[in-house]
Structure 1
Amino acid sequence: MKNLDIVIVGGGPIGIACGLEAQKKGLTYVILEKGPIVNSVYNYPVNMQFFSSSEKLEIDEIPFISKEAKPRRSEALEYYRRIATSNKLNINLFEKVTSVSKVDNEFTIVSDKNSYKSKNIVIATGFYDIPNLLDVPGENLPKVSHYYNDPHFYAGQKVAVIGASNSSVDAALECYRKGADVTLIIRGTEVGQRVKYWVRPDIINRIKEESIKVFYNSTVKEIAKDTITINTEKGIETLQNDFVLALTGYKPNFTLLDEIGVSFSEDANKIPTYNDETMETNVAGVYLAGVICGGMETHKWFIENSRIHAKMIIDNVVGKNNN
């Protein structure tokens, strides 16, 4: 069993930032990532373009040079991978944490490959693992996906895209341009206001010219092998359908936090308890970094405004060690 100063759970951009800070301060550490380097970014759609500019995605003041003002997924993968490898970060990939327990002031972190002891643990696990389900009949059919990757797959198919966010709009536009017959199903009255400012006019114009069909104020009633049935303002409609992209958002996995004893707000946002100056939770030695700090408010924290968490956490750990 390995004894460390700090264990970082999650090898995304913020987990990497925490590793860099720990390394600079001479702490012994490991980053445990259940997938590849920056697993969440890897699982973004293949053509995805960030809302943020490249300098806002930088960590540790390492320059991020991209071809466009808004970098794409492939450039981000290259950037974060090179940071991890060139700095020789101690990152264990495809290693999933299965349990965390605490005795006195020491944690035991067990993964599917190893076990570790540490006085400090950082949870930087993001929110991309658990989709918000529709809870309708037929949602478990093979034609339904809560993740979207490459539009080529949907060429020549009747595709229903559910949602009004960036992911839904990007998928609808890309699939339409690869030859899919696309229908957008939106619960609200309009395309989401958070949709990227250079993309929102595009989808609105495609809807106006009827290149992409849309049902506002509508929800899915049932999904069948060759159809999708929706509740609309004008009543129930059944459409011919080959594939459903249910891009209705995601939520963090709170299992580890619950297991460790981290408390949450009592409202629906389920925001974990932490000190916003140190990022330490109500459980001494447990720190939060990145998106998970927002609980169910997954639009609150991004790379650009949570990269500062790394320095806050490591400075606090070092300060404790010096006392």
Structure 2
Amino acid sequence: MQNEEAIIIGAGPCGLAAAIELERIGLRPLVIEKRNIVHSISQYPTYMHFFSSPELLEIGEIPFTTANEKPSRLEALNYYRTAAQRHQIRVKAYESITSITPDGDFFILQGENRFGEKSSYKSRYVIIATGYFDHPNELGIPGEQLDKVSHFFRESHPYVGMKVAIIGGSNSAIDAALELERVGADVTVVYRGDDYSKSIKPWVKPGFQSKVAKGSIRMLFQSTVIGIENHAITVQGPEGPLQIENDFVLALTGFHPDRHFLNASRVTIEEEGFPTFNEATMETNVPGIYLAGVVASRHEANEIFIESGRYHGCKIAGHIQSLK
């Protein structure tokens, strides 16, 4: 068994920021990541640009420089990778933590790597910074499990000339629709709201509205997809059900934390489906287990939440230091 002072589960921006803050109070945390560093950002659309300006995404007092007004996905990958290297953060990649069990004033963590090899750790403090992106909000409708349905959008090329339905009205849905239209896809956006979301990036919204007005993109408000078939979808709208020819469905309906893992770790889940924690310290109802990053975001969008989530490590470090 490997003994550690503190273990951080998740090497996203907020997990890395927490590691830097713990180092500043004399701890030497181990960051365990089931995939690669900032995996969630690597899953973003290939040509995505952040809503936030670069200084709002900085960690560890390392400047985030870019020639653009808004940093790109590629620039962010390079930035966070560099931050981890400069601060010499200990990251154990491609290993999953499968359980956290209290052991007196410590915790026993069981891990498993991608080859099925087991490992175990003992740590006084555990910071869960796992994000959301492995747990999409499912629609619960017939056909959702078909191969044509995806909860992620990476790039438009695979959809050239295809009839694509996008479910959702957030920035991710709007950005995907614009990219798909540019490569010649036949795009229909299905959104349950009665008007455009107020969260849409202001520099993107006019162009999108223009595409809709010209008929280049079909926008269905007050509508939900109620069924998915091999070559069609059924949409329930204000005028009743409508069947639309379809090749692919992008269900960009958001994500939620791994409630099963949190519950198994004895972290309680509130009625709204989010974990219990103290916002002043980020400590959960289990003393010694903390949350950092989007796992504690409740309703906030992930790319915006990095702006505040990067400070969770300061709260955690301050609380741990006060206990000494």
Please say whether Structure 1 and Structure 2 have the same fold, judged by a TM-score greater than 0.5.
yes
The residue aligned with 1:276 is: 279
Structure 2 counterpart SS, 1:11? coil
Number of residue pairs the alignment of both structures matches: 318
Does the aligned pair in 1 maintain the 2:59–2:83 contact within 8 Å? no
State the alpha-carbon separation in 1 of the partners of residues 301 and 124 from structure 2: 31
Cα offset, 1:256, TM superposition: 2.7
Contact 2:211 2:217 in 1 (8 A): yes
Give the counterpart letter for 1:123 in structure 2: I
Q: 1:150 Cα deviation (Å)? A: 0.7
Q: For 2:125, give the aligned amino acid.
A: N
TM-superposed deviation, 1:278: 1.6
Task: Tell me if the contact between 2:257 and 2:274 (Cα under 8 Å) persists in the aligned partners.
Answer: no
Match of 1:288 in 2: 291
Quote the residue 1:299 is aligned against. Answer: 301
Q: Equivalents in 1 of 2:312, 2:191: separation in Å?
A: 35
* TM-score after normalising by structure 1: 0.95
> How far apart are the structure 2 equivalents of 1:222 and 1:272?
31
Q: Using the alignment, how far apart are the partners of 1:151 and 1:263 within structure 2?
A: 40
**Native 8 Å contact 1:164 1:190 kept in 2:** no
Task: Please give the alpha-carbon distance, in whole angstroms, between the structure 1 residues aligned to 2:218 and 2:182.
Answer: 14
Gaps in structure 2 of 5+ consecutive residues: 114-118
Structure 2 equivalent of residue 19 of structure 1? 19
Q: CA RMSD in A?
A: 1.4
Shift of 1:132: 1.1
TM-score of the pair, normalised by structure 2: 0.94
Q: Which amino acid aligns with 2:301?
A: H
Contact 2:50 2:72 in 1 (8 A): yes
- Give me the whole-angstrom Cα distance separating, in 2, the residues matched to 1:184 and 1:177: 15
The 4+ residue runs of structure 1 with deviation greater than 3 A are 298-301
Query: What is the correspondence of 1:238-317 to structure 2 with a 5 Å cutoff?
Result: 238-265=243-270, 267-268=271-272, 270-295=273-298, 297-299=299-301, 302-317=305-320
Q: Report deviation, 1:199.
A: 0.9
| Mapped partners of 2:138, 2:69: distance in 1 | 34
SS where residue 237 of structure 1 aligns? Answer: strand
Counting aligned pairs with the same residue, the percent is 42
Map of 1:188 onto structure 2: 193
Point out the more displaced range, 270-279 or 1-10. 270-279
Contact 2:44-2:154 at 8 Å conserved across structures:
yes
Alpha carbons 1:251, 1:298 under 8 Å: kept: no
Preserved CA contact (<8 Å) 1:127 1:298: no
Task: Give the whole-Å Cα distance in 2 for the aligned partners of 1:174 and 1:106.
Answer: 49
SS at match of 1:129: coil
